[in-house]
């Protein structure tokens, strides 16, 4: 079951392998969501999403562009506890946001790693561009 993070689950952020330095308080609130893939009370994956007015190319722009009126969903970190759960949560959040919101772009702010590249390409995303310390992929 896909759901938003609950009170008392803030500790999950400590497991973020990509952006553990971003505090929980900056991941929630207007313009932000944290989704959890939960099956039988077992958390399988977590994804953090910012709703942005433009496509960020780094973490500073992610903060700058985040807005409750953002028109793009930016997946800026995802991690899983089970094989295949990362792929599942990305696809389920994409489907949910595409069907229930007015968002029209779904992009990532991914680290510059081959693992991130392979993950997003194998999940159907299109590579957009690489920057100094991040790269963007787009899901359509």
Burial class for 73, CB neighbours closer than 10 Å (0-12, 13-18, 19+): buried
Find out whether 72 and 55 touch, Cβ atoms under 8 Å.
yes
Tens of pLDDT, residues 30-78:
999 999 999 998 999 999 999 999 999 999 999 999 999 999 999 999 9
Residue 104 has pLDDT above 90, yes or no: no
Nearest alpha carbon to residue 109 among 48, 32, 53: 48
User: How many CB atoms within 10 Å of residue 86?
Assistant: 20
Strands 110-111 and 105-108, by their bridges, are: unpaired
According to DSSP, the residues that pair with 118 across neighbouring strands are none
Q: For the domain with range 2-139, which CATH number is right: 2.60.40.10, 3.30.2350.10, 3.40.600.10, 3.40.630.150?
A: 3.40.630.150
Residue 81 has pLDDT above 90, yes or no: yes
Q: DSSP letters of 18-74?
A: S-TTS-GGGTSSTTEEEEEEEETTEEEEEEEEEEESS--SSHHHHHHHB-TT-SEEE
Q: Which residue in the block uniquely carries the two structure tokens 């999403």?
A: 49
Tens of pLDDT, residues 112-132:
999 999 999 999 999 999 999
- Domain spans of the chain, in order of start: 2-139
**Model pTM above 0.85:** yes
């Amino acid at each position: 079951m896909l759901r938003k993070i609950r009170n008392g689950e803030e500790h999950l952020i400590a497991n973020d392998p990509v952006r553990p330095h971003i505090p929980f308080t900056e991941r929630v609130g207007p313009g932000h969501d944290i989704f959890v893939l939960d099956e039988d009370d077992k958390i399988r994956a977590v994804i953090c999403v910012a709703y942005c007015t433009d496509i960020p190319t780094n973490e500073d722009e992610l903060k700058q562009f985040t807005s409750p009126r953002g028109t793009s969903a930016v997946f800026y970190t995802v991690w899983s506890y089970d094989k295949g759960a990362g792929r599942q949560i990305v696809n389920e959040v994409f489907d949910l946001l595409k069907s229930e919101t007015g968002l029209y772009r779904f992009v990532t702010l991914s680290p510059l790693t081959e693992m991130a590249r392979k993950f997003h390409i194998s999940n159907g995303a299109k590579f957009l561009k690489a920057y100094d310390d991040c790269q963007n992929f787009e899901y359509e």
